[in-house]
Amino acid sequence: MKSFSSFPLFHFLLVLIICISCVNLVYTTPVKIGKGYRLIAIEESPDGGLIGHLKIKKKNNIYGPDIPYLQLYVKHETDNRLRIQITDAEKDRWEVPYNLLPREKAPLLKQTIGVSRKSSPFPLGVSEYSGNELIFSFTTDPFGFSVKRKSNGQTLFNSSSDDSDPYNNLVFKDQYLEISTKLPKDASLYGLGENTQPHGIKIYPNDPYTLYTTDQSAINLNMDLYGSHPMYMDLRNLNGEGYAHAVLLLNSNGMDIFYRGNSLTYKVIGGILDFYFFAGPTPLAVVDQYTEFIGRPAPMPYWSLGFHQCRWGYHNLSVIEDVIANYKKAKIPLDVIWNDDDHMDGKKDFTLNPVNYPGPKLRAFLKKIHAEGMHYIVINDPGIGVNKSYGVYQRGIANDVFIKYQGKPFLAQVWPGAVHFPDFLNPKTVEWWGDEIRRFHELAPIDGLWIDMNEVSNFCTGLCTIPEGRICPNGTGPGWICCLDCKNVTSTKWDDPPYKINASGIQAPIGYKTIATSATHYNGVREYDAHSLYGFSETIATHKGLQALEGKRPFILSRATFVGSGHYAAHWTGDNKGTWEDLRYSISTVLNFGIFGVPMVGSDICGFYPAPTEELCNRWIEVGAFYPFSRDHANYYSPRQELYQWKSVAVSARNALGMRYKLLPYFYTLTYEAHTTGAPIARPLFFSFPNIPKLYELSTQFLIGSSVMVSPVLERGKTEVKALFPPGTWYSLFDMTQAVVTKEPHYLTLDAPLHVVNVHLYQNAIIPMQRGGMLTKEARMTPFTIVVAFPLGATQGEAKGKLFLDEDELPEMKLGNGQSTYIDFYATTSNGTVKIWSEVQESKYALDKGWSIEKVTVLGLDRVGGAFEILVDGTEVTDTSNVQFTSEEHKYIDKLEEGGDKRKSMMVDIQGLELPVGKNFVMSWKMGISP
């Protein structure tokens, strides 16, 4: 949706402020702060970890007084996860609430330290604490620690500081925490978001990384945006082999992170230091371990993988009906239609505009599209309009659900005008919110909720009152201009902390255009500490409310995110621009969120504003068709940009979305893989090829799953694309006779006319496909094709794949419920024989649905087929009269730039099959004559 920072005037003013400042204090050489801490005692904790005490070496008052005594807690929580926590030894400090992010609790403060040192297995003379995969070691004076990989001794994190280092030893004050790590210069880092990274997915030295959820549009580069994810993945190449690990600092306070190329420094304005290290050693293993800790990605309904259309400015229901009709007329797939705030009465949550979206007409419309298999989602902002005739507000006041300032509900302004913000840390608020969702669902049976503006966004700053004698907003001029009477709140240390994070890229006050950070939540929690958790807590409450409706699998799209948000919701990358640069940036952001454990992610296709060019929209749908979350969305002030608005874009949409809808079973299986292992749906190429350094910063191509590579055109006027191919055989999915073969990573220039996007399938893979369709509902009931990709011309080869099917609106995505089926596919070619088979778990669901395999396509065979045999559940199929073998020789791209083996090879289609998906099958044949 829109945000105050989306519009050109605000952006211009922000840039002007930055230009006028001309001083970025963030990267000046820092003054050394103190001498660090000394470890004075350490022993084994009751839970098998280590617990120690640290004492300040020399006090100072830079950014406030030091906390004199700290408690250190270290534990190998699993074979591949190490926790290191440092906090005040005498007073409890703010932590991310355990009910929001469930995890093991550290021992209580004031443990008896040092009493049993003589008999302790960890006396001060011992400096290592080893787990299965990671080793924690420490020095006592000044205290520093390192984390090493046990298998090869590689140091992953080292907090010690030398006099020559541009950073300090450990600093721990009430509102300023600093800790650093040395890094090798060849380490490739990813993560630390949310931000728009102009250099690509790899973190770039000396770019600013500030984490603090802010309503600042994605067009702003290298700034704190909507989410806070203080996690990075570190990939290093050691003797030709890639080793990955990840580091999470679980802290919700604002922070600056400085990456200098050979070191990384955290400067945090509150909370505690609570580090989690994930050993990997592969990128996939890292995300598996990370999401095991923060929560596995949410299961997604099948229909959510279809194409979505939205626009701020669908003024009435007839416009939406017209959009749907035009998509059908253009034969472009469309599954979900969205409303921005146009459906609301006065932009108030949980209401319908009685003129433009009258309840009876909307319900009749929804009944019709639901019967067809389409779905409908609306926006919901957290700000509740202050209006005594508004039932949602009345019930909110009655239940005392709003964030307070000095005992009264904090007043802000968003789209409805004056608003209060629900306090989702309050259990009573969660119940009230769920009840409002239920009430609205009775009014309009929506299929999901889009929660926006939840950083939280406020068009005003400070302590505000409703003006007397004038209407606010007055209905004229931009709605994002503050019209309340406000005064700045800077008198407290919470509103004006001693250390200024680089908020909005200009060290803006942390309460700027949001809730005053001295405001309070449930149980006295300060907004200062909980600010970046707001969208996360709203997401959890929304998930609970939606799931309670009909027991269906919720679909939630949230703009603000935090560590663990992917366990409940999808995400889009916010307000982008219709520019070629923003198209390129979108890939890096989407890939980053897969690493963050939010795999269902996409960007506004064709850009949110201003109007994209026709060529750009062609190229954007060719990328966006392969985002995990694929949605076109546009601004109120932009011209219409639905995919049918240009004939050329409609052609590109039919091609790209046509392939997406054929690949839906593959995409859906990837959502199951994400839900069970955390594996991203869209991935950087190094996830499948971690040993190839050339891929470590590649941000113009990406993988879907492990085996489908998208190589889009990202520049104006180009009709070809230079794509990097990792070693092996790659087959074009749009023409499977086309093959690319290489022994070394190499670039290849591919033809890419306006309506063409290059998508390739890697060797050793088996992927399930279907015929496609205009709706996921119809596409998923069509017969299957199983595509088997061997290395080209291989006489010895094997391939694997899988397929997950279920009743896609069940709350859980799992086996064992009687409404799901899982199939492993295998294939080998060896000694002149090809064998393809399946192994089915929980067959009943697929059999009840009647799904069948009509075709098997085998790529890369060195000879055509001969004698053929099929067994289904161990019984030979004797009547194969309808089965047809056809073969076609593979073609090679002429513009092979380096390497490549051009021996002859065949694509073989086996058609006329009627194999039940829910039964084990084996098919095999002897190879015929070599071509």
- Strands (DSSP E) contained in 669-737 are 682-683, 702-704, 708-711, 720-725, 728-732
Q: Are 138 and 127 in contact (CB under 8 A)?
A: yes
601-602 sheet: strands from edge to edge: 601-602, 570-572, 556-558, 449-451, 375-380, 336-339, 307-309, 630-632, 604-605
Q: How far apart are CA 296 and CA 307, in angstroms?
A: 24
User: What residue has token string 């996939």?
Assistant: 284
Q: Which residues have C-beta within 8 Å of that of residue 532, sequence separation ≥ 6?
A: 211, 212, 213, 228, 252, 253, 254, 562
Residue (of 538, 581, 583) closest to 557 by Cα position: 538
Q: Are 669 and 784 in contact (CB under 8 A)?
A: no
Residue 79 is among the residues annotated as catalytic for this protein: no
Given 575, 604, 632, 842, which residue is catalytic? 575
Residue 575 is among the residues annotated as catalytic for this protein: yes
For 859-889, give one letter per residue: b (16+ CB within 10 A) or e.
Answer: bbbbbbbeeeebebeeeebeeeeebeeebee
- Strands (DSSP E) contained in 433-525 are 449-451, 463-465, 485-487
Q: Cα 632 to chain center, whole Å?
A: 18
Measured CA angle at 662 (ends 658, 668), to 5 deg: 120
Q: How far apart are CA 144 and CA 142, in angstroms?
A: 6
Residue 335 is among the residues annotated as catalytic for this protein: no
Count the alpha carbons within 13 Å of 463 in the hemisphere toward its beta carbon.
14
Q: Are 455 and 513 in contact (CB under 8 A)?
A: no
Q: Which residues have C-beta within 8 Å of that of residue 795, sequence separation ≥ 6?
A: 829, 830, 832, 862
What is the 3 state secondary structure string of 835-888?
Answer: EEEEEEECCHHHHHHCCEEEEEEEEEECCCEEEEEEEECCEECCCCCCCEEEEE
Residue (of 156, 331, 142) closest to 244 by Cα position: 156
Given 215, 274, 452, 538, which residue is catalytic? 452
Other beta carbons within 10 Å of 590:
29
Q: How far apart are CA 425 and CA 422, in angstroms?
A: 9
Residue (of 26, 657, 817, 611) closest to 307 by Cα position: 657
User: What residue has token string 């593959």?
Assistant: 666
DSSP structural state of residue 289: H
Q: Are 765 and 799 in contact (CB under 8 A)?
A: yes
User: What residue has token string 């803006």?
Assistant: 508
Q: How far apart are CA 454 and CA 412, in angstroms?
A: 13
Report in angstroms the alpha-carbon separations of 161 from 55, 382, 767: 17, 44, 51
Question: Following DSSP, what letter does each residue of 534-591 receive, concatenated?
Answer: HHHHHHHHHHHHHHHHHSPPP-EEESSEETTGGGT-EEE--S-BSSHHHHHHHHHHHH
Q: How far apart are CA 909 and CA 911, in angstroms?
A: 6
Given 95, 340, 423, 455, which residue is catalytic? 455
Read off the tokens for 66: 């030091």
Q: How far apart are CA 158 and CA 862, in angstroms?
A: 53
User: What residue has token string 């949110």?
Assistant: 608
Give me the active site residues, please.
452, 455, 575
